[in-house]
Amino acid sequence: MTDMIAVFGYGSLVNQATLPPGTPSIPGTLSGFRRAWRIAGKTPIGHTCGLTAEPADGSAIRGTLILYPRSELADLDEREWRYDRHDLDLAAFSPDGDAAAAPTTRIVYRVKREHERWGDEDHPVIQSYVDCVLRGYFERWGVLGVRHFVETTAGWQVPIRRDRAEPRYRRAVRITAEEEDLFDRILAEAGARWID
């Protein structure tokens, strides 16, 4: 496995549909982190707010270790251009159940300082991105997974821009009417609000 690396996915990467076919992933929990809607600025789809992971004592987040060939690291860095790569302590990740062994090189992408700020009315979260993320959590951990994501993510004061009719997120996925209702209800319970 020396030619492989493991990237901890805590947002859209949890959704297997956003990964190249056949990409292995290991679900589990990362200790010492929380998620936050704390990366705002101009992107190819406009001024938006994205998700980052940040150190947080006493917190733990579910996600997946995604296994990539080490040769793809430069491509990953380009994809995550608003993020810096950070090494992860091997003991920080606990796989669900009897997961297969993962590479010892483990990283997480976290927001670059120049992009770090809370979203706002001019830099909203994009609903098609949230739907993609929540679908991934729902497929892996059911309703409890959706609730876990919402409860362990800071920044629900950042508005969510409705774009389900014409998704702007480039890796958008289709969700069912039942999933729409479930996701929106749990988000509303957390204080989320939507804008057009």
Q: What is the pLDDT of residue 98?
A: 73
Q: What is the pLDDT of residue 30?
A: 96
pLDDT tens readout for residues 170-194 = 999 999 999 999 999 999 999 999 9
pTM of the model: 0.94
Q: What is the pLDDT of residue 100?
A: 62
Residue type, 114: E
Q: What is the pLDDT of residue 103?
A: 79
Distances (CA, A) of 174 to 22, 38, 114, 154: 20, 26, 33, 25
Distances (CA, A) of 99 to 95, 127, 154: 6, 32, 29
Query: If we measure between CA atoms, which residue out of 4, 32, 26, 3 comes closest to residue 14?
Result: 26
Set out the domains of the chain in order of their start, with CATH numbers: 4-195 (3.10.490.10)
Residue segments in the chain with a per-residue pLDDT below the cut of 50: none
Q: What is the pLDDT of residue 146?
A: 98
